[in-house]
Structure formats: structure tokens, C-alpha cells
Amino acid sequence: GENVEQHPSTLSVQEGDSAVIKCTYSDSASNYFPWYKQELGKGPQLIIDIRSNVGEKKDQRIAVTLNKTAKHFSLHITETQPEDSAVYFCAASISLSSNTGKLIFGQGTTLQVKP
């Protein structure tokens, strides 16, 4: 079935360094790839997304790349700050029909940014 694998499970970086989180997906029909940030006790918050017709997208310090051939996508955070510390989830969505669009989530990465 559909599956999304995410690595690493934990990531610790010094403030100002870059952080990279990688995900692979199993179903080549996936066409929408969001990244969520989850802080303790809160729901996932969308931080950036990319669609299968685009290879890269950037929003200030956050960027996402997509390699459809290899079926993997990555989140890049530059100039990390302590407030970036959270759990990050990647997800993939298949929308073969117009009425589903469920998200399959990766296992999550706990990012710790040390001051």
C-alpha cells in the first residue's frame, strides 16, 4: 500500500546551521507533498508544500525539493533558529479522483536547534 518513509527520526543542529529532512514515497501517483511542523500539544501546521509539476520551491529560510524519478522529496531549513525546534512531518497525497486527497504521513523528525 501507500507508504512514506522519513529520515532522520531525530536531528540536532547548532543555531545558524542548516537542517535537511528527507522523505521517500511509494506510490508514483502521488502528486502533492506538504510539510508540517508540529509543536507540543498542537496540531500539524503547514509550512510549505510542493506539487508534482514543480521540482523546487522556496519560502524564505525553508525550501523543498522533489525528485519524481527517485520518488523522494526533502525539506531544507537554513539559518536555523531555536524556534524552529519542533517535530516535522512530511506527507504525500494521491488525488486520482477529486473527492479523496488523503495524506499519508512520514514518521516525523524531531528537530532540536541548540542556541
Our CB check for another protein shows the closer of 60 and 97 to be: 97
**Minimum CB separation from another protein for residue 95, in Å?**
3
Instruction: Supply angle C-alpha 3, 28, 33, rounded to 5.
Output: 70
Our CB check for another protein shows the closer of 1 and 115 to be: 1
What 3-state DSSP class applies to 82? Answer: helix
Our CB check for another protein shows the closer of 16 and 51 to be: 51
Kindly state the helix (H) or strand (E) to which residue 77 belongs, with its residue range: strand 72-77
List of residues contacting another protein (CB under 8 A): 31-32, 34, 36, 41-46, 49, 51-53, 89, 91, 93-95, 97-108
Residues facing 90 on adjacent strands: 35
